[in-house]
Amino acid sequence: MAAYAAPVDDIAFLLGTVFDFDRCMAELPGHEDVNTELAVSVLDEAGKFASEVLEPLNRPGDEEGCRLSDGCVTTPKGMAEAYRAFAAAGWCGLSGAPEHGGQGLPRALQILLDELLSSANLSFSLFPSLTRGAVEAIEAHAGEELKATYLPKMVSGEWTGAMALTEASAGTDLGLLATRAVPNGDGSVAITGTKIFISSGDHDFGGNVIHLVLARLPDAPKGVKGISLFLCPKFLPAPDGGVGTRNAMSVGALEHKMGIHAQPTCVMNYDGATGWLVGEPGRGLNAMFTMMNAERLMVGVQGLGIAEAANQKAVAYARERLQGNAPDGARGPVPIIAHPDVRKMLLTGRAFIEAARALAVWTALQMDIAARHPDSDTRREADALVSLLTPVVKAAFTDSGFETAVTSQQVFGGHGYIREWGMEQYVRDARIAQLYEGTNGVQAMDLVTRKLALDDGRLARRFFARIRADLAAAQPAAGEALVMPVADALARLEAATDWLSGAAACDAGAAATDYLRLFALVAFGWMWARMAAAAAGLGEAATPVERRKLAVARFFVERMLPETKGLAAAIEAGAPALMALEAEAF
């Protein structure tokens, strides 16, 4: 099968033509020298690493899996070398703070790098992404000593990070967690408890593994208010800054799971392990949310990355596989890409992928604005928009990412079910992204209960107004036929939002998943209108990628956007049909 190729042309189109990246960067102190040309050349290099080093390890890593013997985790052949090469090339610190040794490049580049890694090797991508999330939480909440000891080594990738929240009885409901932290009297604590499902909990890459652990101090109140966050390293730091003695923590088992077999998902035992408080006592969940929000965006991008890789393989297969007569009756066998139903599968994937990539870049640009714009109101608004969109990116991208993996597998017919083609691995790997980092159902609840309520509901209304203004601006170039249906879908979303603002909690819970999907389809339509307007303006100068935009935009509007009508009706039907049946009667 053809190797994965990083979508550098599409990235160049988005940055250079749709988002006016150069002007955007010129307004952000510290990023003035960053431009589309630089971004594309950096991502081109990253794409080579992804396709030449990481993708070749993807299937062997899936077959071999991780092993645990004598308490030591061994990752599949080649992973440790690939990780060290990745870190040595500086990729771990791409968007890391320069004061800790990072390159300080924009989040817009980082999110695209995350996509390339997820496409090539999802198991691998978790190592740098979890480390970065841990770095962000430490930067935002830890004391200066912890920062000085841990951040430089984590930003460089020499030491990796892990997040340890989940316990057997505490998943979504972290208020139930039981791990305890008892002060040692010297500023450190002794952590005791068992965490399950800990990604990158241990490995054989060398260096250190830095766990951010949620636990309860003595006499802490029940529920989430009694949770604090602690930094707990596999090896205690030595006086010279390197790794010292082994901490009292160990891998109890590796989880046997459906996919991401090259990623060590650990049961972690903390047996009086030494740790240090990060942030304030009782505010652990708040501090951990810095890491969780970062991870949620990255997990969303995992869905996008897998979809891109699976769709590329499906397109290549559909061009070569000969079956049946042509739709116009001409005698075959013809390449299956001639069949309308195969085209529908491929285009559904493409329409999601390209809109999702655009929305990911837009969201990351808001993160850059939130971090650096000279105007504080502009920074605050950008930060709020990232909060609003985080559950949408996480859930909508991973739901559609999984669907795209399945339809791409479907394009292969029975061969898609056979391991050697690699398509069933995409399906197995993509599935986890809908579950971890807060299930997609929980993301939908977050959107309808917390995010829509931000700024008393005014944030969402300002976001919708922004979409409406962009649609009006896109219409002259993109045309009414492409833009008006998106405006109609936006009106449905606004009506559903009004309905939700007066809905009982149970009705909101019943509507949540459909509402998030409606929200995502409108956001994708908004991106398609912007991309179509940008591509239409190019005329004869348009590249093949740019010409494709108009066709895919039309497909999205005619074949995918109508789903918004059904979603709006389902949302406003409320909870009664869901709650009528007694639990015993199911």
Ligand X SMILES: Cc1cc2nc3c(=O)[nH]c(=O)nc-3n(C[C@H](O)[C@H](O)[C@H](O)COP(=O)(O)OP(=O)(O)OC[C@H]3O[C@@H](n4cnc5c(N)ncnc54)[C@H](O)[C@@H]3O)c2cc1C
Contact stretch for ligand X (CB under 6 A) within 26-34, 59-67, 300-308, 433-441: 433-441
Least distance between ligand X and beta carbon 257 (Å): 5
Instruction: Tell me the residue nearest to ligand X as measured from the CB.
Output: 171
Closer residue to ligand X (CB): 290 or 475: 290
- Beta carbons of 252 and 263 less than 8 angstroms apart: no
- What's the rounded Cα separation, in Å, for the pair 407 and 422? 14
Closer residue to ligand X (CB): 167 or 381: 167
- Beta carbons of 342 and 318 less than 8 angstroms apart: yes
Contact stretch for ligand X (CB under 6 A) within 36-44, 195-203, 383-391, 408-416: 195-203
Single residue of 4, 49, 86, 197 touching ligand X by CB under 6 A? 197
Q: Is residue 172 within the footprint of ligand X (CB under 6 A)? A: yes
Q: Give residue for tokens 């209108």.
A: 529
Q: Is residue 352 within the footprint of ligand X (CB under 6 A)? A: no
- What's the rounded Cα separation, in Å, for the pair 122 and 143? 33
Least distance between ligand X and beta carbon 255 (Å): 6
Least distance between ligand X and beta carbon 302 (Å): 12
Is 167 tagged catalytic? Answer: no
Per CB under 6 A, contacts with ligand X among 438-467 are: 438-439, 441-442, 445
Cis preceding linkage at 152, omega within 30: no
β-pair partners for 31: none
Q: Is residue 164 within the footprint of ligand X (CB under 6 A)? A: yes
Considering 55, 158, 295, 437, which one is annotated as catalytic? 437
Closer residue to ligand X (CB): 200 or 311: 200
Q: Is residue 526 within the footprint of ligand X (CB under 6 A)? A: no
Q: Is residue 163 within the footprint of ligand X (CB under 6 A)? A: yes
- Beta carbons of 310 and 408 less than 8 angstroms apart: yes
Q: What is the phi/psi pair of residue 484, to 5°?
A: -60, -40
Q: Give residue for tokens 């009506």.
A: 495
Least distance between ligand X and beta carbon 140 (Å): 18
Task: Reduce the secondary structure of 66-82 to three states and give it as a string.
Answer: CEEECCEEECCCCHHHH
Q: Coil, strand or helix: which one is 255?
A: coil
Q: Is residue 199 within the footprint of ligand X (CB under 6 A)? A: yes
Closer residue to ligand X (CB): 13 or 436: 436
AA letter at 552: V
Least distance between ligand X and beta carbon 391 (Å): 12
For residue 370, the surrounding DSSP H or E stretch is helix 340-372
Least distance between ligand X and beta carbon 324 (Å): 40
Rg (CA), the chain: 24
Contact stretch for ligand X (CB under 6 A) within 5-13, 386-394, 435-443, 467-475: 435-443
Least distance between ligand X and beta carbon 175 (Å): 11
Contact stretch for ligand X (CB under 6 A) within 160-168, 271-279, 346-354, 576-584: 160-168
Q: Is residue 345 within the footprint of ligand X (CB under 6 A)? A: no
Closer residue to ligand X (CB): 110 or 179: 179
Q: Is residue 175 within the footprint of ligand X (CB under 6 A)? A: no
Residues 6+ apart with CB under 8 A from 581: none
What burial letters (b/e) apply to 232-255, b meaning 16+ CB within 10 Å? bbbbbbeeeeebeeebbbbbeebe
Contact stretch for ligand X (CB under 6 A) within 65-73, 381-389, 431-439, 494-502: 431-439
Least distance between ligand X and beta carbon 490 (Å): 27
Closer residue to ligand X (CB): 88 or 505: 505
- What's the rounded Cα separation, in Å, for the pair 395 and 296? 9
With contacts defined by CB under 6 A, how many residues of the chain interact with ligand X?
Answer: 20
AA letter at 536: A
Q: Is residue 227 within the footprint of ligand X (CB under 6 A)? A: no
- What's the rounded Cα separation, in Å, for the pair 393 and 301? 8
Q: Is residue 210 within the footprint of ligand X (CB under 6 A)? A: no
Single residue of 36, 125, 129, 166 touching ligand X by CB under 6 A? 166
DSSP string covering 2-27, please? PPP---HHHHHHIIIIIS-HHHHHHT
Mask for 262-301, x = binds ligand X (CB under 6 A): ---x------------------------------------
AA letter at 548: R
- Beta carbons of 16 and 108 less than 8 angstroms apart: no
Q: Is residue 48 within the footprint of ligand X (CB under 6 A)? A: no
- What's the rounded Cα separation, in Å, for the pair 101 and 31? 16
- Beta carbons of 201 and 268 less than 8 angstroms apart: yes
Crossing angle between the packed helical segments 544-555 and 480-501, to the nearest 10 degrees? 50
Closer residue to ligand X (CB): 131 or 564: 131
> Which of 97, 131, 133, 105 has the alpha carbon at shortest distance from 42?
105
Least distance between ligand X and beta carbon 497 (Å): 20
Single residue of 61, 161, 171, 422 touching ligand X by CB under 6 A? 171
Crossing angle between the packed helical segments 107-120 and 122-141, to the nearest 10 degrees? 150
Q: Is residue 41 within the footprint of ligand X (CB under 6 A)? A: no
- What's the rounded Cα separation, in Å, for the pair 216 and 237? 24
Residues binding ligand X (CB under 6 A): 163-166, 171-172, 197-199, 257, 265, 432, 435-439, 441-442, 445
Catalytic residues: 437
